[in-house]
A and B are shown apart, each in its own frame.
Chain A
Amino acid sequence: MDFASLAAQLNAGAILPEVLVTVTLLGVLTIDLVGGRSTSRWTPYLGIAGLLGALGALYYQWGQANPTAFLGEFNADPLSIVFRGLVVIAAAVTIAMSIRYVEQTGTSLGEFIPILLTATLGGMFLSGADELVSLYVALETLSIASYLLTGYMKGDPRSNEAALKYLLIGAASSAVFLYGASLLYGLSGGETRLAAIGAALSTLTPQTASGAVIALVFVAAGIAFKISAVPFHQWTPDVYEGSPTPITAFLSVGSKAAGFALATRVLVVVFPSVLEQWHFLFAALAVLSMVLGNVVALTQTSMKRLLAYSSIGQAGFVILGLVAGTAEGYASMVFYLIVYLFMNLGAFTAVVLFSLRTGTDQISEYAGLYQKDPLLTLGLSLCLLSLGGIPPMAGFFGKLYLFWAGWQAGLYGLVLLGLVTSVVSIYYYVRVVKMMVVKEPQEMSEAVKNYPPVTWSLPGLRALQVGLVVMVLVTSLGGILSNPLFRLANSSITQTPLFQAVPPSIANSRL
């Protein structure tokens, strides 16, 4: 059998975007090895080009007749395409904001970009994995690369400490997830494909169904770690604060999107037989995340920790869409994740820029920034207001759709709690905006008083500026012109076969 017919038989074209990312990864690595450090002037742009190429390949995969590849190991349905796109965009923006950052901290870009691309690859495979083995391998590819990125600043004890905490908690939680996976393998009588496991679990008698609930608890613990839902969130603030800021951005968006892809696929395909139990479990996670994430964020003094707790709270909102269990619920979850990608990356780009110019992340140091750097202030303000859900920003429409879908599904308590906690969240976002904008010149912080003249000519800053402007534009215009994003989110659900069984609206009124 020759290579071409083997590839056709396995439907290998489904992983073309991943192949492009792999080729870019190897290319960057080889060029850096052969050409030395001087090549780091342009290898980041090669990385971004490769990621954009992968995005193009994803676009052409949309609506493929036969999405299953590698004998059911991988699924290229529209759901996985959207999530893979999210991971790819997050990685591209992360590279754009890290060029200057990595150079200024005196470490090498030649290893940074290949490790980041490896994490991207893991996230992409995780979004499409349809079988326990490939799921686990993809999960670990993403995780191990993330540990390395977190500890990338070798001389900085905070980065070391964050990496160690992340590694220990991450490895433990993936072991717990794996224990759940081994139980699933046993309960289904030796199946590893998710669909086959789901079918086998639905034939269990009530006496043996408790096994499925135990497996669910183990698997849910692994998933909740990845999406940093309370009470599996303890690592999040520490890791977000200690890691290099661009990596924090990638973890809070790319890694989290991959986690939600994993959650959606595993919960919908494997656990329909214990639907009530997983809805209850995740509703509890959503309540805890929304309350704790948003309340603890009020007391933070570091911008990175503030965004860490805010991302925990945001994860709670997204879980609401998952728990709704209707087609609209899933579509609103995808829509919110798309919007969240742009606004959170925009906010992080601004934070990276501020720390490049002043060397600090403290919120109090942002006072009076408007006088010195209007573009940065405007970008950060718009993204924070969008995260808080102020109309007419994109974040408002994202939340509106989520809460509407939750209300339609009968989750009245959860939606009301979501509304209350988003009001709380507006307080701490607006506090930062107010500090930047309305302070009198004499109340300026030391960092802002010594603010260097605004210049974009340093190498790598131009890419960061483009990233910031694009993210802010999408965040602010994405609200009014949200129809394309909205249609994308909706069709990613309606065209995916695994949601065909989901009724458009079921009234499961609990909580």
Chain B
Amino acid sequence: MHLQFFLLLAAALFCIGVYGLINSRSAVRVLMCIELMLNAVNLNLMAFSNFLDPQEIRGQVFTVFVITIAAAEAAVGLAIVLSIYRNRDTVDMERFNLLKW
């Protein structure tokens, strides 16, 4: 197996995440797309760690930190989505228009 395959997969996943981020109307789907982007990063880190740094495996340690923080971020994100749903009865991004210039 070549390193390139892993990097290509990660890049594709990252691009899908960015595409979903721009095109989703539901706030929950945007959160899921952000998770996709973070997982692309994790794949990248794991691949580099296996091919370039098999002794100290810093990339794998980094991945553990990324997963942990992504969980915290998702928890805070869902809490905010919940409180906005209570006030506005919707999670549709295009109807959040109280603030604009």
Are A and B co-members of a single complex? yes
A residues near B, CB below 8 A?
Answer: 132-133, 136-137, 140, 144, 147-148, 151, 154-158, 160-165, 167-168, 171-172, 175-176, 178-179, 181-183, 185-186, 189-192, 237-238, 241-242, 296, 300, 305
Q: Is B2 close to A, CB under 8 A?
A: no
Q: Tell me if B76 and A136 are in contact (CB < 8 A).
A: no
Distance from B69 Cβ to chain A, minimum over Cβ atoms (Å): 5
Residues A171 and B100 in contact, CB atoms below 8 Å apart = no
> Beyond the given A185-B62, A190-B59, could you list 15 further A-B residue pairs with CB under 8 A, ordered by the A residue number?
A136-B65, A140-B69, A140-B72, A147-B76, A151-B80, A164-B27, A171-B34, A171-B73, A175-B34, A179-B14, A182-B44, A183-B44, A190-B49, A190-B58, A192-B62
CB distance from A39 to the nearest CB of B (A): 25
| Distance between Cα atoms of A133 and B58 in the complex (Å) | 9
- When distances are taken between beta carbons in the complex, the residues of chain B under 8 Å from A147 are 76-77, 80
A136 to B80, CA, bound (A): 22
Tell me whether A190 and B84 are in contact in the complex, defined as CB-CB below 8 angstroms, given that A136-B65, A167-B76, A182-B44 are known contacts. no
- B38/A175 in contact, CB under 8 A: yes
For the complex formed, measure the closest distance between the CB of A149 and the CB atoms of chain B, giving whole angstroms.
11
- CA of A147 to CA of B84 in the docked complex: distance in angstroms? 13
Please determine whether A161 and B84 come into contact, CB atoms closer than 8 angstroms.
Answer: yes
Look across to chain A and name the residue whose beta carbon is closest to the beta carbon of B39: A175
Interface centre among A133, A160, A183, A192 (most CB of B within 10 A): A160
Give Cα A466 to B82, complex, Å: 38
For the complex, give the distance between the alpha carbons of A133 and B59 in Å: 9
Contact check, B69 vs A136: say whether CB atoms are below 8 A apart: yes
Q: Are A179 and B37 in contact (CB under 8 A)?
A: yes
Instruction: Give the contact-size bracket for chain B.
Output: 35 or more
A175-B17 in contact given A144-B76, A161-B84, A192-B62 (Cβ < 8 Å): yes
- Contact for A241 among B17, B41, B99, CB less than 8 A: B99
A158 and B80 alpha carbons, distance in the complex (Å): 12
B81 close to A (CB within 8 Å)? yes
24 intermolecular pairs with C-beta atoms under 8 Å apart: A137-B65, A137-B69, A147-B77, A151-B80, A155-B87, A157-B84, A157-B87, A157-B98, A160-B80, A160-B84, A161-B96, A162-B99, A164-B27, A164-B80, A165-B96, A165-B99, A167-B76, A168-B31, A171-B73, A175-B38, A185-B45, A190-B49, A192-B58, A305-B101
Query: A168-B34, A178-B66 known; A154 and B83 CB under 8 Å?
Result: yes
A148 to B40, CA, bound (A): 26
- B38: A residues at CB distance < 8 A: 175, 178
- Determine if A168 and B30 form an interchain contact, defined as CB atoms under 8 angstroms apart: yes
Q: What is the bound-complex CA distance between A137 and B34, given in angstroms?
A: 17
B14, B40, B56, B77: the one contacting A171 at CB < 8 Å is: B77
Q: How far is the CA of A136 from the CA of B69 in the complex (A)?
A: 9
A182 partner residues in chain B, CB cutoff 8 A: 41, 44-45, 48, 59, 62
B35-66: contact bitstring with A at CB < 8 Å (1 yes, 0 no)?
00110110011011100110010110110011
Bound-state CA distance A80–B100 (Å) is 36
Complex alpha-carbon distance, A185 and B31, angstroms? 26
The answer for the CA separation of A182 and B37 in the assembled complex, in Å, is 12
Determine how close the nearest CB of chain B comes to the CB of A498; give it in whole angstroms.
21
Complexed CA–CA distance, A133 and B97 (Å): 36
- The reply to whether A176 and B37 form a contact with Cβ atoms under 8 Å apart is yes
What residues on B are CB-neighbors of A158 within 8 Å? Answer: 98-99
* Nearest 6 CB-CB pairings of A with B: A190-B53, A175-B37, A186-B48, A182-B44, A238-B99, A160-B84
Residues of B within 8 A of A190 (CB): 48-49, 52-53, 56, 58-59
**Contact of A163 with B65 in the complex, beta carbons under 8 Å:** no
Distance in Å from the Cβ of A270 to the closest Cβ of chain B? 16
Contact B41 A175 (CB under 8 A): yes
